[in-house]
Chain A
Amino acid sequence: MHAIETLELTKKFGSTVAVDKLNFEVEEGEIFGVLGPNGAGKTTTIRLLTCLLAPSSGSAIVGGFDIIKDSIRVREIVGVQTENPSLYERLTAYENLDFFAEAYNVSGEQKKRRIRELLEFFGLWEFKDKKVGTFSRGMKQKLSIARSLVHDPNIIFLDEPTSGLDPESAREIKDLMKSLSKQGKTIVFSTHILGDAEKLCNRVMIINKGKKIALGALEELLSNTNKKILKIALRKLDQKVIDAIKCFKQVKEIRVDNSTSTVSVVLNASEEVTPEIIKSVVLNGGLILSVNVANQSLEDVYLRIVRGNNVEN
């Protein structure tokens, strides 16, 4: 059984189509990344799947329950870290978790143990009696993630979980996500940090303007493109050199980084043409510091996919 399955899931706000006929599945125990530019519909998708918004049309099954007909059951079995921390600032960290634990039917000793475990894990135990209003952004973010886990849900939605966190904390969250996934929990998360997606995800979905524009394992998305990037670092940038590179028909795109005097050349196919390009750089007076051939990074693929999608529209 799929942990999540959507069918033509759509949400409109007036004339804005925030989520447009999305179809996708998430497997049990998978870490599933949702990528897309600002306003792409990531948060709205998560809100639909956690029954915070009713879809305008289409439907979805989450953990075996229909998000329209069985919304209370869906809410019981999923945990969600919302885009805003959404915490009660006048209550303490402990009181916040206590309230949500009870709301999710966790009580008694089990509740106390769980809250302590989470607060200790997130390094917030010593602040448990402090009002959340006094917390830093990162502390709120951690508490908000802790809240999403308070009832030990099987399906967890995290909306930009590492935003606002220092590198060490971000690392802890990522490790936590991995270990939750090892325990068989399904994790859906949205992010703008492609490196996170690269490290964590089994599969990613890229959406733009509410539409799915790519979905698959990262290696697949990367290898599909089969493009190489030639990075040439020069002592000094020279327009003549750049023009010379542009003349090769195998060159798909050139990106110039003025600060490092580096020219990144995206090649259409293999790196066969590299020697010729280097030769022409040298003949045009370019002084080469170094040359690197790399596969396209996720960022390159991502930007190309998103931009390509924008051009079509």
Chain B
Amino acid sequence: MRINKVILIFKKDWREIRRNWQILLPIFVIPFMISVLLPMFILSTPSIISMPASSLAGIENLMKNLPKNIQTEIKEMNIQQALIYIMLQYFIAPFFLVIPIMVSDVIASDSFAGEKERKTIEALLATPISDDELFMGKVLVAFIPAVIATTVSFLLYSVVVDLYSLRLLNGKLILPNLTWLLLVFCLSPTVALTSIGLTVTISTKVKGFREAQQISAGITIPILFMLIFGQVMGIVILGPQMIVFLTISFLVANFFLFGIGISLFGREEILSKLV
């Protein structure tokens, strides 16, 4: 594999994406909503912030059922603080995974299915760039922005959350911590790759980039909802062990997905299926 050819594909695709507001818009807006608007909304909801302690009495019992490690984390907080801490530390985490999934899905479907749909794939396939280089360049153009968007979102989220915790948790900073570092730097890149692998596989079968995007999202979003509800119901807690477990599971899934994606990405087959 020639790295300069991989970079060439990457730069070409990125240039196209940069000029496409249909792609840029979701890439900027959704991470901003999740990393800034969502925590601000939670923090500014009066029913949580200024609820009289008495009305939270019922919740106290609920909290007693939380896993041991969380209990120790919130031991010295009052109920309001504990509630907000749990929201910011645990509840938003699965939402955060929407960022790498969505960014890589939107870009990969444009880069793979979109190039087919706009019929630019033919001249590209006629060049002496190998299948591997082409595939790698296109995976990277979806993967790198996904990782950057996730990291930047994490920084923004940290600022919002820490500004709050500095004031209300007696100078204690919530972020960064092990759970979130694992979430952002291990699980997020892994699920980004899962999303890309899915999109690539689907792109070889469908005509348009919208279809590819929707089917891929249709598969990944329900998994996220399972995580979200799992947490709300107290079945899953996105702690460090859970995140490592999920990362490994998705890595294994990726292994198979990319195997399928690469085998379907035979260049001399792509045009045959272009009807």
Q: Which A residues form the contact surface with B (CB < 8 A)?
A: 13, 47, 50-54, 71-73, 75-76, 78, 80, 82, 84, 86-91, 95, 99-100, 102-105, 131, 144, 147
Q: Is B46 an interface residue (CB 8 A)?
A: no
Most buried by A among B16, B119, B123, B129: B123
Q: Which residues of chain B come closer than 8 Å to A53, judged between CB atoms?
A: 268, 271-272
Assess whether B119 is in contact with A86, with CB atoms less than 8 Å apart.
yes
Q: Which residues of chain B come closer than 8 Å to A72, judged between CB atoms?
A: 128, 130
Q: Which residues of chain A come closer than 8 Å to B120, judged between CB atoms?
A: 86-88
Assess whether A75 is in contact with B127, with CB atoms less than 8 Å apart.
yes
Measured in the bound complex, the distance between the Cα atoms of B122 and A80 in whole Å is 10
Assess whether B268 is in contact with A80, with CB atoms less than 8 Å apart.
no
Q: Which residues of chain A come closer than 8 Å to B121, judged between CB atoms?
A: 86
Assess whether A95 is in contact with B123, with CB atoms less than 8 Å apart.
no
Q: Given the known A-B contacts A53-B271, A72-B128, are A102 and B8 also in contact in the complex, defined by CB atoms under 8 Å?
A: yes
| Candidates A50, A84, A95, A147; contact of B119 at CB < 8 Å | A84
Measured in the bound complex, the distance between the Cα atoms of B126 and A72 in whole Å is 9
Q: Is B64 an interface residue (CB 8 A)?
A: no
Q: Which residues of chain B come closer than 8 Å to A103, judged between CB atoms?
A: 5, 8, 124, 127-129
Assess whether B126 is in contact with A82, with CB atoms less than 8 Å apart.
yes
Measured in the bound complex, the distance between the Cα atoms of B131 and A71 in whole Å is 11
Q: Which B residues form the contact surface with A (CB < 8 A)?
A: 5, 8, 12, 15-16, 19-20, 118-130, 266-269, 271-272
| Candidates B19, B122, B268; contact of A86 at CB < 8 Å | B122
- Give A99's nearest chain B residue, CB to CB: B12
Assess whether A95 is in contact with B127, with CB atoms less than 8 Å apart.
no
Assess whether B16 is in contact with A75, with CB atoms less than 8 Å apart.
no
Assess whether B272 is in contact with A89, with CB atoms less than 8 Å apart.
no
What are 9 residue pairs bridging A and B, where the CB atoms are less than 8 Å apart in the complex? Answer: A52-B122, A52-B267, A72-B128, A73-B128, A86-B120, A87-B120, A99-B12, A103-B128, A131-B19
Q: Which residues of chain A come closer than 8 Å to B19, judged between CB atoms?
A: 90, 131
- Give B127's nearest chain A residue, CB to CB: A103
Most buried by A among B12, B16, B20, B127: B127
Measured in the bound complex, the distance between the Cα atoms of B122 and A144 in whole Å is 12
Assess whether A50 is in contact with B272, with CB atoms less than 8 Å apart.
no
**Besides A53-B271, A95-B15, 18 other CB < 8 A contacts?**
A51-B126, A52-B122, A52-B125, A53-B268, A54-B266, A72-B128, A73-B128, A76-B128, A84-B119, A84-B122, A86-B124, A88-B16, A90-B20, A100-B123, A100-B127, A103-B124, A104-B127, A147-B123
Measured in the bound complex, the distance between the Cα atoms of B123 and A87 in whole Å is 8
Measured in the bound complex, the distance between the Cα atoms of B267 and A73 in whole Å is 15
Most buried by A among B20, B124, B126, B267: B126
Assess whether B128 is in contact with A52, with CB atoms less than 8 Å apart.
no
Measured in the bound complex, the distance between the Cα atoms of B127 and A228 in whole Å is 48
Q: Which residues of chain B come closer than 8 Å to A102, judged between CB atoms?
A: 8
Measured in the bound complex, the distance between the Cα atoms of B120 and A144 in whole Å is 11
Assess whether B12 is in contact with A13, with CB atoms less than 8 Å apart.
no
Minimum distance in angstroms from A173 CB to a CB of chain B: 18
Minimum distance in angstroms from A14 CB to a CB of chain B: 10
Q: Which residues of chain B come closer than 8 Å to A144, judged between CB atoms?
A: 123
- Give A107's nearest chain B residue, CB to CB: B4
- Give B20's nearest chain A residue, CB to CB: A90
Assess whether A50 is in contact with B123, with CB atoms less than 8 Å apart.
no
Q: Which residues of chain B come closer than 8 Å to A100, judged between CB atoms?
A: 123, 127
Q: Which residues of chain A come closer than 8 Å to B267, judged between CB atoms?
A: 52
Measured in the bound complex, the distance between the Cα atoms of B127 and A89 in whole Å is 18
Assess whether A89 is in contact with B15, with CB atoms less than 8 Å apart.
no
Q: Which residues of chain B come closer than 8 Å to A75, judged between CB atoms?
A: 126-128
Measured in the bound complex, the distance between the Cα atoms of B129 and A104 in whole Å is 8
Minimum distance in angstroms from A213 CB to a CB of chain B: 25
Measured in the bound complex, the distance between the Cα atoms of B118 and A86 in whole Å is 8
Assess whether B269 is in contact with A90, with CB atoms less than 8 Å apart.
no
| Candidates A54, A95, A99; contact of B268 at CB < 8 Å | A54
Measured in the bound complex, the distance between the Cα atoms of B267 and A50 in whole Å is 12
Q: Which residues of chain B come closer than 8 Å to A99, judged between CB atoms?
A: 8, 12
Q: Which residues of chain A come closer than 8 Å to B119, judged between CB atoms?
A: 84, 86
Assess whether B128 is in contact with A91, with CB atoms less than 8 Å apart.
no
Assess whether B15 is in contact with A91, with CB atoms less than 8 Å apart.
yes
Measured in the bound complex, the distance between the Cα atoms of B130 and A88 in whole Å is 20
Minimum distance in angstroms from A205 CB to a CB of chain B: 22
Minimum distance in angstroms from A107 CB to a CB of chain B: 9
Measured in the bound complex, the distance between the Cα atoms of B130 and A51 in whole Å is 12
